[in-house]
C-alpha cells in the first residue's frame, strides 16, 4: 500500500477537559500516515494522488474553528476528515500535546482507521 506522510505538522485548536485549557488555542503536533487510493498507472499528475499541502491547510483551518475535550475525539475528527474529503484508503493519526503535564514532555494518542 502506498502512502504519504506528514510528520511534525504543527496545528492549534481549543482542547482540554478543564475550562482553563480551553481559554486559548493550544499547540499540537500531528503525525499523519495517509494511504493513497489505488492507481492503475504511475502518473506525475497531482490530480491522481492526495495533495499533502491541501491536507495540511484543510486540517489547520478546521481545527482553528473547532474545540474538543479529548484528544481521542480530535483524532477521530481528523481521521474522518481525511478519509472522506481526500478519499484516503487509510489513515494513522498521532497527536502529541506537548508540555501539558509537569515533568512530562508530551502526552498523546495514536489511532488507525480504514483498510491498512
Active site residues: 97
Q: What is the DSSP letter of 99?
A: T
∠ CA 42-50-5, nearest 5°, is 100
Q: Is 75 exposed, middle or buried (0-12, 13-18, 19+ CB in 10 A)?
A: buried
Amino acid at each position: 500500500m502506498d502512502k504519504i506522510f506528514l510528520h511534525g505538522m504543527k496545528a492549534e485548536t481549543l482542547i482540554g477537559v478543564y475550562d482553563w485549557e480551553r481559554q486559548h488555542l493550544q499547540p499540537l503536533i500531528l503525525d499523519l500516515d495517509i494511504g493513497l487510493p489505488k492507481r492503475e498507472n504511475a502518473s506525475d499528475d497531482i490530480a491522481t494522488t492526495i495533495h499533502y499541502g491541501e491536507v495540511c491547510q484543510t486540517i489547520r483551518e478546521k481545527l482553528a474553528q473547532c474545540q474538543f475535550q479529548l484528544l481521542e475525539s480530535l483524532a477521530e475528527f481528523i481521521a474522518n476528515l481525511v478519509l472522506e474529503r481526500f478519499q484516503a484508503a487509510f489513515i494513522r493519526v498521532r497527536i502529541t500535546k506537548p508540555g501539558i503535564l509537569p515533568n512530562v514532555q508530551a502526552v498523546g494518542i495514536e489511532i488507525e482507521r480504514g483498510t491498512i
